[in-house]
Chain A
């Protein structure tokens, strides 16, 4: 049980840690009190009914603060929120799997005829069972054979179908969207008559594409002329990565602004 046996680092929390926990907890406590007590704050009751929304905001705040506390270090608050979130996330996905695939794709078109047909001879169930669905049902059961170690190899049949589909379907789609589409944008005439910059840009793109492609060559040595061009390719790659990184920063900050906005206006109601 490798994942279990490794003991977690245990040791008395330092003064700094304790201070951090105390501050965090008090922030939550007093902040929540403030949020309910001040003039524009939350109300305990709305229309005579307990205000579940306000309770929800408190829980959301708790989860938010606990998850942020990870930035300081791994701590009990984070562990609690993490595990709760893992549980809720799994539950949510399971409900989603039921409502969005098993129920509409398997239960309704196939199984319910077997389950409910006899009950409602003249009932509301129209249509015929789709017997094609016996195939995925069979493959699905093969997958479950993994619960029986001696038969677990049967699940490979299902894997083979899954992987085979992915491999096959991807080839033409990759050619369409990644090869032809990209070539199409690259393969433009060099517009000498549209001014120096336009022509220059086209040449830059051309040079970039070719040098990066050359950099990825596996079976020739990157020496001599090839070495020089692939070096240019590396520079293009570095510019690309630096630029993409820089371009993304703003968007990521927006996510945090939104969250802080929730804490200040949604929770504290400032």
Chain B
């Protein structure tokens, strides 16, 4: 048993490496049971329970440095908000995040475009790939191949015959421009190549969502927003007066101050989450949820316990669970399984070495330090 304790550390290195390589190679084939934790449920259920058309505020307070951790959850939450047809108002406290966050909002809104696609079905993957090459090189010839027209809306999880919606379509189609084709995909033993003929936006700026941009002031800004949104943000990022956005049938209809929002979601890399709680929800009373980096999460749990926030999405794990809940597997989903397996390995190693240690007995002098 002694040797188990003095095991060459290179064996451990090898175990870790093999496991992660396997998990990465078999990424698509690994089905991971996901049990969402109650903090994540807290955010999801709160948003899911809102009636369509409720105004919500989304504060995205991070910058490219925390992008890897926060962008997946930001997108996941946005997708959920859009899918529920809520009226979304976006903003940020961070000047460095201004354009970056805007891009996240816009591209997510684009995912809800109605896509008219020509579906060309092939029997083999080879034929489909060849066709794709043809679309790239000789679009005219490619257009002559017989096709069926269908409408797809990935955001709303809708697709017409001959294809059926499945989550894979999301990553396949979300960046395909008009006139271009997506990579072939297999469904029911057939291989389909989808060529986008037209994109019809279904989410309209100013009506379904808006982006107020950035304003400095942190806590003071939040207090001002609690008094009057129009004074805190006289105009949105593009110069449209916010009063105009509050007109009939517009995104801010019936909203003039923070308390009028039905929900606040904060995706934050810094202290702004706490500021939103203390100066915002505590003072003006509205439910809110927080998404933050894994390091910050423990600091926020006391607020969850005291019910000042409905839930927390913490780091990659939170994003992963949320992606599962809204059935859109994205970046978090592709990385978390490998991470998890390596993590479990470490736990097993610790258990194993302690069992071995106890069996050898503590009386013997320790071997390798």
Q: Indicate whether A and B are direct neighbours in the complex (CB within 8 Å).
A: yes
Is the beta-carbon distance between B305 and A72 smaller than 8 angstroms? no
B228 at the interface (CB under 8 A from A): no
| Interface residue? B294 (CB, 8 A) | yes
Cβ-defined contact, A260 with B343, below 8 A: no
The answer, yes or no, to whether B20 is at the interface (CB within 8 Å) is yes
Q: Kindly specify which of B43-51, B230-238, B334-342, B359-367 makes contact with the partner chain.
A: B334-342
B346 touches A256 (CB 8 A): no
Q: How many A-B residue pairs have CB under 8 A?
A: 48
| B299 nearest in chain A by CB position | A185
Binds B, one of A30-38, A95-103, A230-238, A246-254: A246-254
User: How far is the CB of A30 from the nearest CB of chain B, in Å?
Assistant: 16
CB nearest to B334 among chain A residues? A261
Q: Does A197 contact B (CB under 8 A)?
A: yes
CB distance from A177 to the nearest CB of B (A): 12
In contact, A253 and B342 (Cβ under 8 angstroms): yes
Choose among A201, A254, A270 the residue that contacts B339 (Cβ–Cβ < 8 A): A254
CB-CB contacts of A173-211 with B at 8 A, as 1s and 0s?
000000000000000000000100110010000000000
Residues of chain A at the chain B interface (Cβ within 8 Å): 71-72, 194, 197-198, 201, 247, 249-251, 253-254, 256-258, 260-261, 264, 270
Which chain A residues lie closer than 8 Å to B338 at the CB level? Answer: 253, 257, 260
Residue pair A254, B316 in contact (C-beta under 8 Å):
yes
Beta-carbon contact of A256 and B16 below 8 Å: yes
B10, B20, B23 interface centre (most CB from chain A within 10 Å): B20
A253 to B316, alpha carbons, bound, how many Å? 12
Q: How far is it, in angstroms, between the C-alpha of A270 and the C-alpha of B25 when the chains are bound?
A: 8
A260 touches B317 (CB 8 A): no
Enumerate 14 A-B pairs (CB-CB under 8 Å) in ascending A order. Answer: A198-B305, A247-B294, A249-B346, A250-B316, A253-B20, A253-B338, A253-B339, A253-B342, A254-B339, A256-B16, A256-B20, A257-B342, A261-B24, A261-B335
Q: How many residues of B contact A (CB 8 A)?
A: 21
- Contact for B306 among A194, A250, A254, A256, CB less than 8 A: A194
The CA of A260 and the CA of B16, in the complex, are separated in Å by 11
A201 contact set on B, CB distance < 8 A? 302
Tell yes or no: B143 within 8 A of A by CB.
no
CB neighbors of A among B1-47 (8 A): 10, 13, 16-17, 20-21, 23-25
Give the contacting residue for B25; candidates A198, A251, A254, A264; CB below 8 A: A264
A contact residues around B302 at 8 Å (CB): 201
Known A198-B306, A256-B16; 16 more pairs at CB < 8 Å: A71-B13, A198-B305, A249-B343, A250-B294, A250-B316, A250-B317, A250-B339, A251-B294, A253-B338, A253-B342, A253-B346, A257-B335, A257-B338, A258-B335, A261-B335, A270-B25
Chain A, residue nearest B342 (CB): A253
Give CA–CA (A210, B15) in the complex, Å.
42
Across the interface, name the chain A residue whose C-beta is closest to B345.
A253
Residue of B nearest to A257 (CB): B338
Residues on A with beta carbons closer than 8 Å to the beta carbon of B25 = 264, 270
Q: Considering the chains assembled together, what is the distance between the CA atoms of A250 and B343 in angstroms?
A: 6
The residue that B10 contacts in the complex, of A72, A249, A250, with Cβ under 8 A, is A72
